[in-house]
Structure 1
């Protein structure tokens, strides 16, 4: 059992590293705010560890730390960390509700693609709103929350969904070839 936990932790660390790298190299699209591709990896990690809340929470905390360290928005460190903690908790509950659906369970691996798409859609919106709200309180924003939500979060959501579908498919195929069992 310990060996399995260690493998999951190593896989999560690799996926987080890829997410941070993608987040770092992706250009800002407005007001210094970048589409958060670490969210995509966080949602992939959550699906791979859907029965393990602690593993998901640890991944959320690590994601929050990494995005705080790599944010391109001045004063965006605390809002990045807070938004990841809120997002991982909200989306864990949301994910559990999705996997209760008999339709999702019947679809098997295609169900995971649907879940990652839905989680990325709603998770990016939640994360973006929480980030903008706390950034407006702590650091100030160059425009209103609603305006930035439409200008940055909505396009980021589209980018994240496309990235999530591509990356989750790659991750799934890689894990399948190594006989790694998704929970």
Structure 2
């Protein structure tokens, strides 16, 4: 992986950190994870496993530092790395599909997987959740997946057009 790719991933994750930090909680102490949207964009731009490791590691650290969810530090770190590898694998498997369809579908699936894995790990770490699992999935994970789908698609298209303009695509 080239240094330029690593820097772009780190920059996107920093943008995700700012968005994650300023976003208010939706339900209880859970917040939408915009770090995921930026992670997905970084992986769509450079779908290699080294980038998944870098993005997942940075996302995990950033999310752990900013979480307000009980047990969220451990859960965020583990879940972001798992999600990065799941998403990069999905991207590679769907490389021949229409990107206008694949990007939103993968962003939605990736966010759903991330939220469910996060809740499962957080529940195991602290011995329970502040609300029922199904309530958190319905009120936080699904709305976050919808938001991340739109954000990921929009930011990726901006990045794609920028790459196209400088002749990288």
**Length-normalised TM-score, structure 1:** 0.85
Gaps (5+ residues) in structure 2?
none
RMSD of aligned residue pairs (Cα, Å): 1.5
Shift of 1:150: 0.9
- Superposition deviation, residue 174 in structure 1: 2.3
Deviations 1:58-79 (A, max 9, x none): 1111111111111121321000
Measured against aligned partners, the alpha-carbon deviations of 1:93-143 in whole angstroms (never above 9, x if no partner) come to 2222111x4xx2xxxxxx333222111110000000000011111133211
Structure 1, 148-157 or 167-176: larger mean CA deviation: 167-176
Equivalence for 2:3: 6
> Any idea what the Cα deviations from partners look like across 1:21-51, whole Å, max 9, x if unmatched?
111111110121111111111111111111x
Superposed, which structure 2 residues align to 1:25-174 within 5 Å? 25-50=22-47, 52-99=48-95, 101=96, 104=97, 111-139=98-126, 140-174=128-162
Q: How far apart, CA to CA, are the structure 2 residues paired with 1:83 and 1:9?
A: 21
State whether residues 56 and 84 of structure 2, in contact with CA within 8 Å, keep that contact through their aligned partners in structure 1. yes
Moved more, 170-179 or 78-87: 170-179
Residues in 1 aligned to 2:13 and 2:76: alpha-carbon distance in whole angstroms: 15
Q: What is the alpha-carbon distance in structure 2 between the residues aligned to residue 169 and residue 87 of structure 1?
A: 21
The normalised TM-score by structure 2 is: 0.92
Question: Larger deviation: 169-178 or 145-154?
Answer: 169-178
Larger radius of gyration: 1
Q: CA deviation at 1:170?
A: 1.7
